[in-house]
């Protein structure tokens, strides 16, 4: 039974895989399409002259576009004979990110299309130079993954997706990830973000930590200093770590001096704000309600460069001036369980090992066949999912050397040696 390849067109374009990509791809297999973006209103068109267009009556229609396709067209606007016109598309329908403008003259010219950049709603059409040929869509394909289908609700789709992620994570031993927490002076215990299964490596202020057990900690009194030991335990649904000796260095804090886009790979902070940050490490941007964990690769003045966004299950997002930037000087590396996604998270990035996208769609197809009470087919698809997942996991496991198994770092001054793994009880 071969591994199922990705179905969604967006998944083959080299872009980050979003939650909505898997949902749309699975609904294509069922088929049980969700709602699509509504057609735009009739555009506002002003005919002007002169230009280099043929002097003809022009029919203008617009469509709304998102990641997954294009809406049905707006009602048509027909100009008088003109060589130039200006189109105002109006307000984007909910769920769309940009417009396409189509114009044609019956029986004389082909249909022309002008894709508008995101954030642009008007265009002046003065010539046919660099204008592409197009076809006004007859079917809306700008899907809205957070809406219901004809049979399966959005809530059910997210429930199935979370099940697939958890099954895959169990068979894979968890997802490799990096996170951390900001230390506070003399504070021994901290709660980790995310649902961690295993800690492979930990660092305090760049120093490697011994991954020990709770019996390794001396708890009679505070012993502040350069931390050498880290232990972890599961408390209900949270992971609590304890450091010994207690940290003598708090994580640094500053604030954004300029806005950030969700795709930016650097950030700028207040003057001097990065002076006490490690040369490279982990940071977290927060506005008090949301937060995003990032790796940074270097510091140049007031700029943290080489950002890797959305670590530890967080979602890359835009941030405004004044957002808090915290240094996570207790760094954690290991494996964690997947986050739980809910309706409304279709634009969240799924950080998955290569090849998982198609397998998630396969599992959703299994659940759909189960809902249809197509038991034999559902059973076969589930078996193919499990077999393909196990093949993918075994083929993608890293080759571990003795150094990787032990961690391979000894601090003779403190008399400790790092170990390879700490399974969280």
* pTM for this model (two decimals): 0.80
Asked if residue 66 belongs to a domain, the reply is yes
In a domain, 213, yes or no: no
Is residue 84 one of the residues assigned to a domain?
Answer: yes
Please answer whether residues 419 and 402 qualify as being in contact, where contact means their C-beta atoms are separated by less than 8 angstroms: no
Half-sphere exposure for 287 (CA within 13 Å, toward CB):
10
Q: What is the pLDDT of residues 117-126, one digit of tens each?
A: 999 999 999 9
Contacts of 178 (CB under 8 A, 6+ apart): 282, 295, 311, 312, 331, 332, 333
User: Could you give the CA distance from residue 212 to residue 197 in angstroms, rounded to a whole number?
Assistant: 16
User: What pLDDT sits at residue 297?
Assistant: 97
Q: What is the pLDDT of residue 425?
A: 57
Instruction: Specify if 129 maps to a domain.
Output: yes
Give, as one character, the DSSP assignment of residue 216: G
> pLDDT for 284-312, tens place per residue?
999 988 999 999 999 999 999 999 998 98
Residue 259 above 80 pLDDT?
yes
Q: Where are the beta strands (DSSP E) in 28-172?
A: 44-48, 56-66, 69-70, 77-82, 84-88, 98-104, 112-115, 122-125, 132-133
Phi, psi of 260 (to 5 degrees): -125, 140
**pLDDT tens across 28-73, in order?**
999 999 999 999 999 999 998 889 999 999 999 999 999 999 999 9
pLDDT band at 12 (very low <50, low <70, confident <90, very high): very low
In a domain, 115, yes or no: yes
Mean pLDDT within 391-397: 75
Residue 162 has φ and ψ, to the nearest 5°, of -65, -35
- Residue 110 inside a domain? The answer is yes
> Is residue 51 domain-resident?
yes
Output the CA torsion sign for 204, 205, 207, 208: positive
Flag whether pLDDT at 3 surpasses 80.
no
Residue 11 has pLDDT above 90, yes or no: no
User: 89 with 62: CB under 8 angstroms?
Assistant: yes
Q: How many domains does the chain have?
A: 1
Q: What angle do CA 137, 87, 126 make, to 5 degrees?
A: 100
Q: Which two tokens stand for residue 392?
A: 């993918």
SS (H, E, C) 309-332: EEECCCCCCCECCCCEEEECCEEE
The set of long-range contacts for 307-312, using a CB threshold of 8 Å and a minimum separation of 24, is: 307/264, 307/265, 307/266, 307/267, 309/262, 309/263, 309/265, 310/349, 310/351, 311/177, 311/178, 311/179, 311/282, 312/177, 312/178, 312/179, 312/180, 312/193, 312/194, 312/336
Rounded to an integer, the average pLDDT of 242-269 is: 95
User: What pLDDT sits at residue 256?
Assistant: 98
Q: Is residue 236 part of a domain?
A: no
Its domain, for residue 80, covers 44-133
pLDDT at 8: 39
């Amino acid at each position: 039974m071969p591994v199922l390849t990705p179905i969604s067109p967006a998944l083959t374009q080299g872009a980050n895989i979003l939650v909505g990509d898997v949902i749309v791809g699975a609904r294509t297999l069922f088929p049980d399409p969700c709602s699509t973006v509504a057609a735009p209103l009739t555009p506002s068109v002003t005919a002007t002259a002169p230009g280099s267009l043929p002097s003809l009556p022009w029919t203008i229609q617009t469509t709304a576009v998102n990641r997954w396709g294009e809406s049905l067209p707006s009602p048509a606007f027909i100009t008088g004979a003109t060589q130039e016109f200006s189109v105002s598309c109006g307000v984007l329908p909910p769920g769309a990110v940009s417009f396409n403008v189509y114009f044609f003259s019956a029986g004389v010219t082909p249909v022309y299309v002008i894709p508008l950049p995101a954030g642009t709603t008007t265009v002046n059409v003065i010539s046919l130079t660099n204008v592409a040929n197009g076809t006004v869509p007859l079917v809306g394909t700008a899907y809205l993954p957070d809406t219901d289908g004809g049979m399966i609700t959005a809530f059910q789709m997210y429930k199935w997706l979370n099940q697939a992620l958890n099954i895959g994570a169990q068979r894979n031993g968890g997802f490799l990830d990096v996170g951390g927490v900001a230390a506070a002076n003399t504070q021994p215990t901290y709660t980790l973000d995310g649902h961690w299964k295993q800690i492979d490596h930990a660092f305090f202020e760049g120093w490697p930590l011994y991954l020990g057990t709770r019996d390794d900690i001396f708890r009679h009194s505070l012993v502040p200093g350069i931390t050498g030991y880290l232990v972890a335990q599961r408390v209900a649904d949270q992971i609590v770590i304890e450091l010994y000796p207690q940290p003598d260095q708090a994580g640094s804090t500053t604030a954004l001096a300029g806005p950030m886009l969700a795709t930016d790979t650097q950030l700028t902070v207040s003057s001097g704000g990065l002076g006490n940050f490690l040369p490279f490490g982990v940071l977290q941007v927060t506005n008090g309600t949301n937060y995003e964990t990032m790796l940074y690769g270097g510091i140049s003045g007031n700029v943290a460069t080489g950002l890797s966004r959305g670590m530890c299950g967080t979602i890359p997002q835009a941030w405004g001036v004044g957002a808090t930037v915290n240094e996570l000087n207790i760094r954690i590396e290991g494996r964690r369980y997947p986050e739980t996604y809910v309706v409304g998270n279709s634009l969240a990035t799924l950080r998955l090992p290569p090849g998982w996208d198609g397998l998630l769609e396969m599992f959703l197809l299994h659940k759909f066949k189960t809902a249809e009470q197509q038991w034999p087919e559902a059973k076969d698809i589930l078996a193919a999912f499990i077999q393909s997942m196990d093949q993918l996991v075994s083929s993608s496991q890293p080759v571990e050397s003795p150094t990787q198994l032990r961690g391979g770092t000894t601090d003779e001054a403190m008399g400790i040696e790092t170990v390879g793994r700490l399974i969280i009880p």
